[in-house]
Amino acid sequence: MPSWLVKSEPNTYSYDDLVRDGRTVWDGVRNNAAALHLKAMSEGDEVLFYHSQDGLAVVGVARVARSAYPDASDPQGRFVAVDLVPVRALPRPVTLAQIKNEPALAGMAMVRQSRLSVSPVTDAERAVIAAMAGE
DNA sequence: GCCAACGTTGGC
DNA sequence: GCCAACGTTGGC
């Protein structure tokens, strides 16, 4: 089963906010490459939750509770949203610096294309991050 | 259909 | 605050 990574600025919506809400609509993605990844998500897929700008670390795991459907916040109706639920916070957040220093993660999509807000994570990468996080 | 100008994201 | 990366827009 593939997994994914989404970015969020914690000032706007943090992993703690997701835990508090219990479920959220992941909408507002307005980038084609990111939207393709959203569409490829299946219900039940794991999603790593990354804090950009302030934090710069993967801090938790979420799960896709509803696969892609039209994004109600997009007046043109071109983009999609998914629903996410929290699974657990990582015992130890995995920082961007750690990711960049780990050769096994050098090929991660989020590293290679830093502005991509939704990206795929391979099973191998997922396993490395799990180990680094003390999961 | 090309490409310069411009806007946005996100790390540093 | 700066700048690199990259997507989008608009003139031609």
- For chain A, residues with pLDDT lower than 70 are none
The one-letter code for the residue type at A41 is M
Q: What is the pLDDT of residue A20?
A: 97
| Protein-covered nucleotides on strand B (Cβ within 7 A) | 8-12
Q: How far apart are CA A22 and CA A123, in angstroms?
A: 26
Q: What is the pLDDT of residue A73?
A: 87
Q: Which residue is nearest to nucleotide C6 (CA to C1')?
A: A115
| pTM (predicted TM-score) | 0.95
Q: What is the pLDDT of residue A91?
A: 97
Q: What is the pLDDT of residue A7?
A: 97
Q: Is the CB of A12 under 7 A from strand C?
A: no
The one-letter code for the residue type at A6 is V
Residue A58 token pair: 């993967």
Q: Is the CB of A19 under 7 A from strand B?
A: no
Q: What is the pLDDT of residue A76?
A: 81
Q: How far apart are CA A107 and CA A120, in angstroms?
A: 11
Nucleotide with the nearest C1' to A110 CA: B10
